A and B are shown apart, each in its own frame.
Chain A
Amino acid sequence: VWSIAQNSPNLFHTKCSVFSSNYLDVIRARSSCFAFPGRYYDYIFDFNKSQLGPAKRNSAVELKQLLVSVVLEPECDLYPSITSDESYTLAVEGPVAFLKANRVWGVLRGLETFSQLIYQDSYGTFTVNESNIIDSPRFPHRGILIDTARHFLPIKTILKTLDAMAFNKFNVLHWHIVDDQSFPYQSVAFPELSNKGSYSLSHVYTPNDVRTVIEYARLRGIRVIPEFDSPGHTQSWGKGQKNLLTPCYNGPKQSGTFGPINPILNSTYCFLSQFFKEVSTVFPDQFVHLGGDEVEFTCWESNPEVIAFMKKKGFGRDFQRLQSFYIQKLLGIVSTVNKGAIVWQEVFDDHAKLNPGTVVQVWKNEMYPVTQAAVTAAGFPVILSAPWYLDWISYGQDWRNYYKVDPLDFDGSQEQKKLVIGGEACLWGEYVDATNLTPRLWPRASAVGERLWSQQNIKDLEDAYDRLTIHRCRMARRGIAAEPLFTGYCNF
């Protein structure tokens, strides 16, 4: 199984329950809205690929039913959130298997596990071992970052990624949707942003596209958190929104180039208010990612109006204060529309005043445990990404490095460690598009997936290798072009 369940030792029973060959009756108990996802039938019974044979093993018991029961209000019509209960228990004891969860989110996780427990014996009979699993995630925030600005990603690719995420129990899609290079997000309030800022009119996400992604994700228990990164990384915004970006100066004259968003103009905040008001209705998740990374100060430094503003505000020459001024106003706007904020670590490092509950994403690799300690000591939740930049490819089995990371390996109290809500594997798009995204993400991201779901003591690399090679073939069988870990072959 990938990722290993919380109480894994019970998996290794020798007694086997055996399925009847091609049908499993799924009974829903006590659930009004829950519909068994048909895709799990295909995942389990592999309809296109398997040979279906009659059960030949007399010693085994036939498993007739999977009984699914949701204990509390299932939340089927809600969106998943950071507090969603993903716990489940799975008891396989012929002739009935019991999948019990508090919410529909746990059912989804349990179904994935169940589908991974089933195998075909040498006769081709679908078999599952007697099991007793009690499972829940170690961290509630387990994400994948995709970048659709450096390269446009077709919707098909995004949906495939969501499928693969579900196979690995990821529950957050961090959609870094716009950046310097392009602005593919079609805004209703500001249509010129994508009209002028996208690579082309066919490289645009319409409101319908966005809705499709959000719903597809929801049905897999995956949150979609959009990132509209500012004030840096915004070149493409300036194409469709005049006077948004800071004009750079060459001495006394404008150079014709632009820098980060102009933090001194009221029009800037007027725009941001309207823009994030729309964003807050389009994206239902409680959180929105505001970016805030890698702000270049040179352009601000060159602009006489900015300098004058700095003087008036008493910031001196400290542009971090101007940056913080901007971010704080933006955070205010976002809280007005009742959203929580996630920011990159620079916002914290550069001393902006953050509302409590603002989440800080740690991405800089140098001494990241020190950063984790500092952020949690100040009382803010942390999402860890620094050791998990999957766009940094190298020769060989680098998944092992991702697997070895311990997100809580820093100096801090228990309370501090509780503030680490999880992590994200990042696949930045400078060298990635639909031609190579899937093999570059999988199965390397799977290592991160298990690290974030399973217990700290699940760290045996050899066992992980054995299970991950099987899981990789499973993903390939399910249509995800996950690349190989090492030499070998898949049995189909």
Chain B
Amino acid sequence: ADFWSQEFSGILPPGLCFATNACYRTAVQSGYQVAESIVPGDIEGKQHAPEKSSLVILVGTPGCNELPSLESGENYTLTINDDHCFLLSETVWGALRGLETFSQLVWRSPEGAFFINKTEIEDFPRFPHRGLLLDTSRHYLPLTSILDTLGSYDPATHIYTAQDVKEVIEYARLRGIRVLAEFDTPGHTLSWGPGVPGLLTPCYSGSHPTGTFGPVNPILNTTYEFMSAFFLEVSSVFPDFYLHLGGDEVDFTCWKSNPDIQAFMKKQGFGNDFKQLESFYIQTLLSIVSAYDKGYVVWQEVFDNKVKVRPDTIIQVWREETPVHYTKEMELITRAGFRALLSAPWYLNHITYGPDWSEIYMVEPLDFKGSPQQKALVIGGEACMWGEYVDSTNLAPRLWPRAGAVAERLWSSELVTSVDFAFKRLTRFRCELLR
């Protein structure tokens, strides 16, 4: 719908009703929050515009108690005219998207009356995976930061309990948001060590252990016993089909220094190629996780280092220039038949002076050499907010509205590229977010 159209269609009275055939709680609960924020109190409306008394929401197959998935349909149509006022979708997830759009279309006259223009929208996302990465390890984020809601967490322990996790997952579900958990190994695991003695590789200086530790120790059976038990739990706690297994930035120095590992490398015939040891670990881990009937997402190093992965693995591209430019990386990954997620140009933790949102907005995820089949393998992307310099004091202003630029790039058509037009809408949307 053209937001700037001249005709207006209807006044919304206080207490606009949402009549729906399905999932009153699920679809409409979030919808009501939307509606309550736009229809408060007394309104003096201009009587020459037809008053709409209800937005009818019709959902084909509601699935209200289900979880959203990568395959979930999010299509919807929104029709507002003299005769009709309805939102149609096949799934409840589409209804949620449509309600969000509906809430953004409502505007107020200077007298305070609420209006909505005649609208005919057929909408669906360009990419099915439109994500936001939050890092709660570099800085603990209280649930309020994560949810913007009341969360019961213990500020003293800096721990997310099972209850906390459940709350996040359910809160997300009601908004049609999947929760993809990442347990990054074998690197980035120093904090695992204190609680699981023997898990990490002891580093050596010559023939003596230095007392420091490196990545997960890939040569011990105990490692895989632990991972089996751990990921069994993780698989049941996090209901999404996919788990993110990490696999990035594995530093080989510690492995190299360890004599047991050196012996293992020799025995396996890996020579001096530690990428093969890394592959060995990752492959074993992947088969553990597959056995729990989970799919997995991994960082690009897993692909770059030629780890043998299942064909339905999703590879997340995060490195801008190495080993190749990220557009080339997208080409290589899709050419090999894997699905890809783009993050490299969307590291929102990399702040700079000025309105960097426009560069973020101008990224075209399919801007690489490849066949249509290849391009179809790009399932979307993720804006990343790594936590080295971020906690609850600065997370929200650092994330928003810049992440909005990524969101539109992943939802809307590739033809929507006017930065000026986006600026107008984004400044308005930003004020909406504040409200």
Contacts and interface: CB of A to CB of B under 8 A. Distances in A.
Interface of A: 391-397, 431, 435-436, 438-440, 476, 481-489, 492
Contact of B393 (A395, A397, A431, A482): A482
Interface of B: 138-140, 155-156, 158, 349-355, 387-391, 393-394, 396-398, 434
Contact of B434 (A431, A435, A439, A487): A435
Given A436-B394, A483-B391, A395 B155 contact: no
30 contacts: A392-B353, A395-B349, A395-B350, A395-B389, A396-B389, A397-B389, A431-B353, A435-B396, A435-B397, A435-B434, A436-B394, A436-B397, A439-B393, A439-B394, A439-B397, A440-B394, A481-B393, A481-B394, A483-B389, A483-B391, A483-B393, A484-B389, A484-B390, A484-B393, A485-B389, A486-B389, A487-B139, A489-B140, A489-B158, A492-B156
A431 B391 CA distance: 20
Nearest to B397: A436
Contacts of B156: 492
A490 to B, nearest CB: 9
- Interface residues of A: mostly helix, strand, loop or mixed? loop
Contact of A489 (B139, B349, B355, B390): B139
Closest 5 interchain pairs by CB?
A436-B397, A439-B394, A481-B393, A483-B394, A487-B138
Contacts of A395: 349-352, 389
Contacts of B389: 395-397, 483-486
Most chain A C-beta atoms within 10 Å of own C-beta, residue among B349, B354, B393 = B393
Contact of A394 (B138, B352, B397): B352
B379 to A, nearest CB: 28
Contacts of A396: 389
Contacts of A482: 393
Nearest to A483: B394
A431 B427 CA distance: 12
Nearest to A438: B393
Contacts of B351: 393-395
A393 B355 contact: no
B388 A486 contact: yes
B159 to A, nearest CB: 11
Contacts of A436: 394, 397-398
Contacts of B140: 489
Contacts of B388: 486-487
Contacts of B352: 393-395
B155 A492 contact: yes
A142 to B, nearest CB: 24
A456 B262 CA distance: 52
A487 B387 CA distance: 7
A487 B389 CA distance: 7
A431 B354 contact: yes
Contacts of A492: 155-156
B377 to A, nearest CB: 31
Contacts of A394: 351-353
Most chain B C-beta atoms within 10 Å of own C-beta, residue among A395, A438, A440, A492 = A395
A322 to B, nearest CB: 32
A484 B350 CA distance: 15
Given A392-B353, A396-B389, 20 more contacts: A391-B353, A394-B351, A394-B352, A395-B351, A435-B396, A436-B394, A439-B393, A440-B394, A481-B394, A483-B389, A483-B391, A483-B394, A484-B389, A484-B393, A484-B394, A485-B389, A486-B389, A487-B138, A487-B388, A492-B156
B320 to A, nearest CB: 13
A396 B155 CA distance: 26
A436 B394 CA distance: 7
